[in-house]
């Protein structure tokens, strides 16, 4: 008993030490203590920090096994064969001898020999009986064991017979199901598979024909590309500093021209719009079919990218392509003299609007091409100066674009948490632009066919389409938008 109590005491002390260590670990891994009765997040195993709750309840005292006492053993069985019967002594012959049963009186003298013989035989028979009795008892016990074994075998046989009957029924059910499935499979193989194979053969033939057509088209392309590509658009003879200068020199057709604003730099190609509002416009940005990706790096926006123009079949490049002229060139053109900008838009129903600013300037790369505009007129809504009209207060001012620096996904100059790579307007809204935080206009955003799009369609869940919010809102991507500049002058 003392040893048991000592063992319980040792276990309790060891538990107390472990519990103390656990409580210390909990305290170290938590910055702030949780309120009483709460579970602190981040703690290993979400243990409660309230130590008053984290208590230990020892198990109940268990008594030792029962021992001692005066429990009686089993009584000893009497030896087999019973008590020895004392044989009767012979009666003296007195005129005869008694019967084996004394109640019968005395035998006649002639019967005494018979009695003596019977007594001798009785002694022999009793000895044999005493010898056979243990064997009989053993045989009886063996018979009982065999009987019990036979009974158990009979019971087990009945149980096995019941299991066999149940299995036979299950086998019968499954056999019926297998027969049904076999019939279904046979019908499918005999009828459905041949028709399916015929359909697949037809599809395969169509695919084979398409492959042959593609191989033929590829071969034609290879034949055409054997010789170096040559432009089919002859460059007009007339050129100038910009499109207004070309117009005044006689270039009245809208097409691709060479301009050279500064004699110290080489000339470059632009598309001149010589028909809208009396012409003279340099096309600096154009979106019309989504053929060019505008999600470009800073250097690409600085140099320019895309396709200037195409030959529409008239022998000159009169069809403008999708392109960005380049921030260096745009800055140079807008700083030569006062410049105006015309932004034309079209939705997917064919409706057209425009926004025009009499003053438009893009500063040099030293100021990250900062934008300045003024003097709005038009039908699209004044996004660059007023921001999104659907918003109010600071939410609207965050969408004003004038005064902003140019941003791309690899050069973050917007006002949305500067320096935080996870808070970049250009990365979320799909293109380079003069982002604030973030936009009311997004002409260089991702191109969505059909116009309307959703958060689920957007890459980052933001309104990253070709957006002009004051006309179509945030979740409508325009079919076409272009930006054109020319020197600002008063019409005579």
pLDDT of residue 19: 46
C-alpha angle 416-420-421 in degrees, rounded to nearest 5: 105
Domain boundaries, the chain: 143-230, 269-308+322-487
Task: Return the structure tokens found at 247.
Answer: 């117009």
State yes or no: pLDDT of 10 exceeds 80.
Answer: no
Q: Say how far apart CA 431 and CA 255 lie, in whole Å.
A: 27
Q: Other CB atoms closer than 10 Å to residue 81's CB: what's the count?
A: 12
Mean pLDDT over residues 263-282, rounded?
Answer: 95
Q: pLDDT-derived band of residue 30, with 50, 70 and 90 as boundaries?
A: very low
Q: Fold for domain 269-308+322-487?
A: Gamma Fibrinogen; Chain A, domain 1 (3.90.215)
Q: Say how far apart CA 402 and CA 18 lie, in whole Å.
A: 67
pLDDT of residue 74: 44
Q: pLDDT-derived band of residue 96, with 50, 70 and 90 as boundaries?
A: low
pLDDT of residue 7: 53
Mean pLDDT over residues 126-142, rounded?
Answer: 85
State yes or no: pLDDT of 21 exceeds 60.
Answer: no
Decide which of 45 and 361 is more confident: 361
Q: Other CB atoms closer than 10 Å to residue 207's CB: what's the count?
A: 10
Q: pLDDT-derived band of residue 303, with 50, 70 and 90 as boundaries?
A: very high
Decide which of 420 and 283 is more confident: 283
In this prediction the pTM is: 0.56
Within 13 Å and on the Cβ side, how many CA atoms surround 390? 11
CA distances in angstroms from 169 to 156, 174, 343, listed in the order given: 20, 9, 84
Q: pLDDT-derived band of residue 8, with 50, 70 and 90 as boundaries?
A: low
State yes or no: pLDDT of 107 exceeds 80.
Answer: no
Q: pLDDT-derived band of residue 42, with 50, 70 and 90 as boundaries?
A: very low
pLDDT in tens, 183-207: 888 887 788 778 888 888 889 989 9
Mean pLDDT over residues 126-153, rounded?
Answer: 85
pLDDT of residue 490: 74
pLDDT in tens, 316-373: 788 999 999 999 999 999 999 999 999 999 999 999 999 999 999 999 999 999 999 9
Mean pLDDT of the chain: 80
pLDDT of residue 99: 57
pLDDT of residue 146: 87
pLDDT of residue 66: 40
State yes or no: pLDDT of 442 exceeds 80.
Answer: yes
Decide which of 194 and 25 is more confident: 194
- The widest CA-to-CA distance across the chain, in whole angstroms, is 191
pLDDT in tens, 244-266: 999 999 999 999 999 999 999 99
pLDDT of residue 220: 86
pLDDT of residue 35: 36
């Amino acid at each position: 008993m003392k040893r048991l109590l000592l063992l319980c005491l040792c276990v309790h002390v060891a538990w107390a030490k472990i519990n103390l260590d656990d409580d210390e670990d909990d305290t170290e891994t938590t910055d702030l203590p949780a309120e009483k009765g709460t579970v602190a997040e981040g703690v290993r195993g979400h243990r409660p920090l309230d130590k008053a709750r984290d208590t230990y309840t020892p198990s109940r005292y268990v008594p030792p096994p029962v021992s001692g006492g005066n429990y009686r053993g089993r009584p000893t069985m009497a030896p087999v064969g019973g008590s020895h019967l004392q044989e009767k002594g012979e009666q003296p012959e007195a005129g005869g001898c008694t019967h084996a049963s004394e109640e019968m009186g005395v035998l006649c003298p002639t019967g005494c020999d018979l009695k003596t013989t019977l007594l001798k035989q009785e002694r022999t028979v009793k000895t044999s009986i005493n010898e056979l009795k243990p064997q009989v008892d053993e045989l009886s016990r063996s018979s009982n064991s065999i009987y019990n074994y036979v009974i158990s075998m009979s019971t087990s046989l009945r149980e096995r017979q019941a299991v066999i009957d149940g299995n036979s029924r299950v086998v019968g059910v499954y056999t019926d199901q297998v027969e049904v499935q076999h019939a279904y499979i046979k019908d499918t193989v005999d009828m459905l598979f041949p028709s399916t194979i015929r359909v697949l053969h037809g599809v395969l033939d169509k695919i084979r024909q398409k492959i042959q057509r593609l191989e033929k088209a590829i071969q034609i392309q290879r034949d055409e590309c054997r010789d170096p590509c040559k432009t089919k658009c002859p460059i007009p003879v007339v050129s100038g500093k910009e499109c207004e200068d070309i117009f005044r020199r006689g270039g009245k057709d809208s097409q691709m021209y060479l301009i050279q604003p500064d004699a110290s730099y080489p000339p470059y190609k632009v598309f001149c719009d010589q028909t809208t509002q009396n012409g003279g416009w340099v096309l600096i940005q154009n979106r019309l079919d989504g053929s060019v990706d505008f999600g470009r790096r800073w250097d690409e926006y600085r140099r320019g990218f895309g396709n200037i123009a195409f030959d529409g079949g008239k022998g000159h490049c009169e069809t403008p392509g999708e392109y960005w002229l380049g921030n260096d060139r745009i800055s140079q053109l807008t700083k030569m003299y006062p410049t105006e900008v015309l932004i034309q838009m079209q939705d997917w129903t064919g409706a057209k609007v425009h926004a025009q600013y009499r003053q438009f300037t893009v500063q040099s790369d030293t100021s990250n091409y900062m934008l300045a505009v003024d003097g709005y007129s038009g039908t699209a809504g004044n996004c660059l100066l007023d921001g999104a009209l659907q918003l109010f207060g600071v939410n609207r001012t965050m969408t004003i674009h004038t005064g902003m620096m140019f941003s791309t996904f690899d050069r973050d100059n917007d006002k949305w948490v500067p320096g935080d790579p996870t808070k970049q307007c250009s990365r979320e809204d799909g293109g380079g632009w003069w982002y604030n935080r973030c936009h009311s206009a997004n002409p260089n955003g991702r191109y969505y066919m059909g116009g309307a799009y959703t958060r689920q369609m957007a890459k980052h869940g933001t309104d990253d389409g070709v957006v002009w919010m004051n006309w179509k809102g945030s979740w409508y991507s325009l079919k076409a938008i272009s930006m054109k500049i020319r020197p600002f002058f008063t019409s005579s």
